[in-house]
Amino acid sequence: MLEYPPPHYLLFEPLNDIETQKLWIEYKEKHTDCEFSEVDAAELNTVETFATWFHTWISQSSKQRFRILIIWHSEFLTFSCQQMLRRSLEERSYKCRVWFHVEDPMGIQPAIQSRCIVKRIKTFIHNPVIKQI
């Protein structure tokens, strides 16, 4: 389902992130020639916290062919933080790829969405079956 070499992705999964987590684990197992990192925007979401962490991550050199960062719950990133990311996607994405996990794509700026391939992840909702006697 996901391409290789990896582009920037916007992974839209409404309601939860269960299927995206499965997809992330499968992709990491399949492509061992990539370096993987992840961060939760629910915890680091301002320019002061996230931008510092991101600049450190994107500036590090890697021996792997690609570096992939998934940002869980990306809609929590502030506007200024998303502006910083947009500039980084334009300038420094030769070997580094960013995947945005969102439950609400309206929280991500159109400028970022236009630089990503949007994938809607199927959501499976468990409906218990109750037997009647």
In the chain, the domains with their CATH numbers are 10-119 (3.40.50.300)
- Position 125 scores a pLDDT of 66
Assess whether pLDDT exceeds 80 at residue 3.
Answer: no
Q: What DSSP string runs through 58-120?
A: HHS--SSSEEEEEEETGGGS-HHHHHHHHHHHHHS-SSEEEEEEES-GGGS-HHHHTTSEEEE
Give the model confidence (pLDDT) of 9-42 as tens digits: 999 988 778 889 999 999 999 999 899 999 999 8
Give the model confidence (pLDDT) of 57-116 as tens digits: 988 888 888 899 999 999 999 999 999 888 888 887 778 899 999 998 899 999 999 889
- Position 11 scores a pLDDT of 92
| Token couple for 21 | 């987590």
For residues 124 and 15, is the Cβ–Cβ distance under 8 A? no
